[in-house]
Amino acid sequence: MRIEGLALALILPVTAAAQAPLTAIDWLGKNTPPVRTGPVLNEPPVSRSALHPQVDVRPLHAAEPPLGLVPSSVTGLPEELWQGNDGAALAPLVRTVPARYPAMQTLLYTLLLSETRAPQEGAEPLLLARIDRLVAMGAVEPAQTLAESAGTDTPDRFRRWFDATLLTGDEDKGCTALAASPTLLPDYGARIFCAVRGGDWQTGALLLEAAHALDLLPEDRMELLDRFLSPEVFDGAPPLAAPVAADPLAFRLFEAVGEPLPTAAMPAAFAAADLRDLAGWKAQLEAAERLTRAGALPPNRLLGLYTEREAAASGGIWDRVQALQRFETALGQGSVAGVEKTLPAVWKAMADVQLETAFADLFAEPLSRVPLEDSGARALAWRVRLLSADYELAAASPPDDKPLTRFLVALAQGRPGEVAAPDARAEAIASGFASGTVLPDRVRIALDSGRLGEGILRAMEYFDRGARGNPVDLAGAIAALRLVGLEDLTRRACLQLMLLDRGRT
């Protein structure tokens, strides 16, 4: 403990009477501890055995604080999630494990963001993989925060963090850190960008001249930086060719020279940049849909953009905007006829862009209060409720007694094996909930070895294989997820599997 901390700890017991605070030396002078006489330990001074005493060994890394953005008390995952694993061996799985269904996306985000302790081996590769997967899913702000929490004092972490700041609009923060520690990012392009952003055009120009003279940057980056520093020289020049694969710095430089790159065909991380006020409404809408579909944006943010103003045109995204606005108006007015008329249209619009669960999260609860009379609308509203967090409540009031409905009710209640399965996929789901289902070998070995994080990731792999048509893998994955205590998530994933069309490719 530092002297200041020791002084504070020793001063705190003093009474609250008004007096000059005591220093640590003063306190010790007034409160001299008693001095023991005789043996210090209450045991014989000589050992009766030549054996080594029992020593409790604990790895130093275990004393390190857990790293993440959500405490384990919230996620339900233990801080030792990754213990027993070699982080370097696990990193490729973290980067590539499939998460096509919303419940699997939720599970993956939980794994990536939960506060966990680093494994004994390969801690750095695992951390970088967590950051990379968040960025790949479009969750750039959480990735930036996770990197900050870990500390941006290594080149690999700093590069990822700096790129994230370029996409979230925090580039001034990134540039300040780069100026303080330029050796962490030996990139002349970034230093030139930051110098000009900071108002030091002369330094930026000198760095660019040095880069030209020493051939330190690719030709296309040189051309882009030339236009960034001297836009008046290139007034009227034809636009630059768009890069095949732009990095965040190139993306921001193209934006700065007045030639912004469309993000639709770019990785999801770039869509985050379109959420800024700099982008037009259509670009914001498309980015919000994309990020919501990936689970990187809360549905309420998308709803806010959908209802911000009236649709500017028709077709494509404007039809979705109109469909949702009309439905929300009918729902807000409590119009039974209006809801029955607009619900099928808005549901189809949301299904076209795989936003069914986001719609359910937003509207399942108010929709349940509308006394729908049309049987088709009532059945559709019930399915919307099954895709929400209130699926168990929905199961208590099914709209009909069809075989599929009976199975969905039983599944929502966690007992799908008690009714007849309407198809092969339902049979596989029921098998997963049955007792004694055999776990996939790789999942079983991981769990038996205490490698919980790997076991969950492997189960996610098998779930995706099962969703593509392998019933044995599906049953095994379901059994594994339930075994580790993910009952609610497993039910929601299976309901989504039955109700959503995600294809088998």
pLDDT by 10s per residue, the chain, length 505:
333 343 333 333 333 333 333 333 332 333 333 333 333 333 344 444 444 445 445 554 445 789 999 999 999 999 999 999 999 999 999 999 999 999 999 999 999 999 999 999 999 999 999 999 999 999 999 999 999 999 999 999 999 999 999 999 999 999 999 999 999 999 999 999 999 999 999 999 999 999 999 999 999 999 999 999 999 999 888 999 989 889 999 999 999 999 999 998 899 999 988 988 778 899 999 999 999 999 999 999 999 999 999 887 888 899 999 999 999 999 999 999 999 999 999 999 999 999 999 999 999 999 999 999 999 999 999 999 999 999 999 999 999 999 999 999 999 999 999 999 999 999 999 999 999 999 999 999 999 999 999 999 999 999 999 999 999 999 999 999 999 999 999 999 999 999 998 865 4
Read off the tokens for 52: 């080594």
Closest to 192 (Cα-Cα) out of 225, 241, 214:
225
> What are the residues facing 116 on neighbouring strands?
67
pLDDT digits (tens, 9 = 90+) for 439-480: 999 999 999 999 999 999 999 999 999 999 999 999 999 999
Beta partners for residue 70, in sequence order: 114
The CA–CA distances, whole Å, from 299 to 140, 218, 359, 361, 482 equal 17, 41, 7, 7, 27
The DSSP code for 208 is H
Q: Tell me the C-alpha distance between 421 and 404, whole Å.
A: 8
Three-point CA angle 471, 469, 380, nearest 5°? 100
Rounded to whole angstroms, the Cα distance separating 356 from 500 reads 8
Q: Are 372 and 342 a contacting pair, CB within 8 Å?
A: no
Helices of type H across 198-235? 201-214, 219-229
N residues, the chain = 505
Written as one letter, the residue type at 23 is T
